[in-house]
Amino acid sequence: MNAPTAPHILVVDDDPDLRELLGTYLGANGMTVASAGDGAAMWLALEAGMPDAIVLDLMLPGEDGLALTRALRAKSSVPILMLSAPPMHHQPLPTRPCQGLARSSLTPRAAFAQRRHRDPPDRG
């Protein structure tokens, strides 16, 4: 019997402190984490294989998170949790391309609790 593998999460955010925080939190909760600081680095990371989920900053420099999500959706149905800085109330929210939206001012625990509550894992 094979032991279950740890979920692999890709964190894409231009804030290195937030990438480190999320990586530490997710790693402490049994996940393997890769990170990327922008869209180009995300695509390079994806060449190694599709992760189990992606945490993606909406307001990345260059190609933003929404454009990256649309491009990802053309290739994969990987779950995506979008992160946004607080002043997002004036921007339209994506409806279908991602599985969740979390304000980056949330603690990692609150953001992932929100994700688990909205979309419990399929164990079947």
Domains of the chain: 8-86+94-117 (3.40.50.2300)
Contact 65, 92 (CB under 8 A): no
Tell me which of 84 and 85 has the higher pLDDT. 84
Q: Tens of pLDDT along 63-75?
A: 999 999 999 999 9
**Which two three-digit tokens encode residue 122?**
């399929």
Overall pTM surpassing 0.75 (yes/no): no
Please tell me which residue, 109 or 51, carries the higher pLDDT value: 51
Binned at pLDDT 50, 70 and 90, residue 34 comes out as very high
Inform me whether the pLDDT recorded for 120 exceeds 80. Answer: no
For the segment 92-104, what is each residue's pLDDT rounded down to a tens digit? 555 555 555 555 5
Q: Where are the alpha helices (DSSP H) in the chain?
A: 16-28, 39-46, 65-73, 108-118
Q: Which residues contact 11 (CB under 8 A, 6 or more apart)?
A: 19, 22, 23, 26, 33, 34, 35, 36, 54, 55
**Geometric angle at alpha carbon 62, from 22 and 82, rounded to 5°:** 35
Dihedral sign computed on CA atoms, order 49, 50, 56, 59: positive
